[in-house]
Amino acid sequence: MDKFEFLKKNSSDIFIELDDDLIIRDANIRLYDFMGCFSYDILNNSLGTFIQQEEIDQIKQTVNKLKNSHNSISLPFHLRDEQGYYKKVIGIFKLIETDTGNKICIFIKKKRSIYKERLLESKLEFERVVSRVSSRFVGIYDLDEAINTSLEEIGKFSGADRAYFFIFSDESETMSNTHEWCAEGVKSQMEILQDIPNKSLPWWMKKLQNGETIHIKDVSKLPNEAIAVQKLLEMQEIKSLLVFPILIKNELKSFIGFDNIREIGEWEYENFKLLKIISEIIGNALERKYIQEKLKKSQDELSRVNELKTELMRRATHELKTPLIAIKGFADLLLEVHKNKLDEEIISIVKEIKMGSNRLENLVKDLLKSSKLDSDRMQLDKKIGDLAEIIRIAKKEVESLAEKRNITLNLQIHNEMEAEFEGERIHEVLVNLLGNAIKYTPPNGKIDVFSEIENNKYKISVKDTGIGFTPEEKEKVFQQFGKIKRNEEEGLVSEGSGLGLFITRRIVELHGGKITMESRGRNKGSKFSFTLPIFKNLDLDEIDNKNQ
């Protein structure tokens, strides 16, 4: 312990540490005793707040002189005491060396009394109780244990015979004693204080609902309108009590209180102050708990609705498959076996039936895949592979479609891109993005496919000169059934289920990647980009060398 710490802890004088701006940075219990305040009322406040204003300049001059001379300086000034009066004191200003630099300190001689020492110790214990109770309700905690432990601590501090906590039912029709601490030899009342009808205690409820503190000095002298309360309290042999309501968003949720069964009398101010602080701490904790429970309930309900939707979709699509197979099979039979018996009009109709069946089959496949992805039941069979090769294969598959529309398809990617993925799924992602780019890019347009490395991930982008997206369309582009209607005058046919980009997004996310879309607006093109983690054993410098 250095000299500074020793003097601060062991000095019988009032001790004050100042910074260069006369802000009080530290003090000992003698100062709190003298001023009748707690540490949080004094620390980090200017000394000028507690002395006569005309003396501030003189103290500033003394501090400056002290820093220049390093000699102790005696200066009389007036310091506010616990009664609010300015009492003349003699301050010894000293500059004390510490490991972190020089400290400006003031030492003030003061007479001490046993009574005031006890009073000061009580105030410090009050601060310690509040600090310990507060810490129990911070972060992740067991609320029941925190309340029980806190009731015991504040009950002992206040000298109560019983400390308790009541909660009102969700319908606010009854109240129940949920937590309790009893002093030694005091009988528990929690078992009998359950589901008490609120309407049976109108006087009590009116005060609590108005946010009033209930301070009963003598139960036997309660007014006539509180006769029901009086009988309930006398049944428990309570002589006096102190109760604070706990309101959350102006709604009464619970209350906390002290009982005394040994004597009547007025509860001390310290107990009032303590119980009010504790009620606010527990009220904040309860509010967080209610919000968390409400959020969890909403999440559970949403999850259940999603599960029902997914199951309905799965069953519906399975039911569609059987008649669809029959329709498609009979259409093929008519076209392949009985074609010579049909005229051209019938043949055309059967072909339309077959084409419609193919579209419906693709929709059923998308629905099944979507429901599987939406329920997180899809398991990937990931292997180490060359992502660049998958991109080249996908490009080759759609080239003929691009050529028909006279669209230029450019590839600017790394020669090799080793990553861990399921080839079939990533191939599906690429074909979908390239197919959409071709579909929504007018003839004579251009599509660029290029790769980058960002944050230890490969980033693959498909950029087109197509019709782009409006701000409203961008919001739903990756949503399930987020099909975007295109106007006929745009000259583009938009067939599809509205599931393609949803499926694409989910596949990318299952691989630990992310997909994004950029567009500056209608007829200004768009760029879809997705990322995949680089295989963890690869060195980024090694990747750059391979692709130079």
Which of 531, 507, 502 is CA-nearest to residue 419? 531
Q: What is the rounded average pLDDT of the residues 23-50?
A: 88
In this structure, how many other beta carbons lie within 10 angstroms of the beta carbon of residue 45? Answer: 14
SS3 assignment, position 295 = helix
Pick the CATH number of 140-267 from 3.90.1150.10, 3.30.450.40, 1.10.3720.10, 3.40.228.10: 3.30.450.40
pLDDT at position 116: 53
Q: Percentage of the chain surpassing pLDDT 70?
A: 84
Residue 310's pLDDT band, with cuts at 50, 70 and 90, is low
Residues 261 and 529: their CA atoms lie apart, in Å, by: 73
- The predicted pLDDT at position 488 comes to 47
Question: Residue 134: its pLDDT value, please?
Answer: 80
Mean pLDDT of the chain: 82
Q: Categorize the per-residue pLDDT at 393 as very low, low, confident or very high, splitting at 50, 70 and 90.
A: very high
Q: Using a pLDDT cut of 90, give the percent of the chain over it.
A: 35
Model pLDDT, residue 466: 92
Assign 71 to helix, strand or coil. Answer: coil
- CA 98 to CA 323: how far, in whole Å? 89
Q: Is residue 358's pLDDT more than 80? A: no
Q: What is each CA distance from 82 to 22, 110, 125, in whole angstroms?
A: 21, 14, 18
The contacts of residue 519 (CB under 8 Å, 6+ apart) are 468, 469, 474, 525, 526, 527
Say what the pLDDT of residue 475 is.
Answer: 81
CA distances, 345 to each of 122, 220, 284, 335, 357 (Å) = 102, 103, 77, 12, 18
Q: Does the domain at residues 383-533 carry the CATH identifier 3.40.50.300?
A: no
Please state, as a whole number, how many other Cβ atoms lie within 10 Å of the Cβ of residue 428.
17
Among 280-284, 390-394, 457-461, the minimum mean pLDDT is found in 280-284
Domain boundaries, the chain: 3-109, 140-267, 306-374, 383-533
Class at the top of the CATH hierarchy for domain 3-109: alpha beta
Q: Looking at the predicted structure, is the pLDDT value of residue 487 above 60?
A: no
Answer whether 109's CB lies under 8 Å from 86's CB. no
Which pLDDT score, from 0 to 100, does residue 374 have? 62
pLDDT at 489 over 50: no
Neighbour-count burial for 99-127, b at 16+ CB within 10 Å, e otherwise: eeeebbbbbbebeeeeebeeebeebeebe
Contact 355, 380 (CB under 8 A): no
Q: What is the pLDDT of residues 106-165, one digit of tens each?
A: 898 765 554 455 555 666 777 788 888 888 877 656 888 888 888 898 888 888 899 999
Token output for 122: 């009580």
Question: What pLDDT was estimated at residue 412?
Answer: 94
Task: List 529's β-bridge partners, or say none.
Answer: 461, 516
Residue 508, SS3 per DSSP: helix
140-267 has the same fold as 3-109 = yes
Calpha distance 230→220 (Å, rounded): 7
> Looking at residue 399, what is its pLDDT?
92
Tell me: the pLDDT tens digits for 501-512?
888 898 899 889
Q: What is the pTM of this model?
A: 0.43
Task: Quote the CA–CA distance of 96 and 279 in Å, as a whole number.
Answer: 43
| pLDDT-based confidence at residue 367 (cuts at 50, 70, 90) | low
The CA distance from 391 to 426, in Å, is 9
Phi, psi of 248 (to 5 degrees): -120, 115
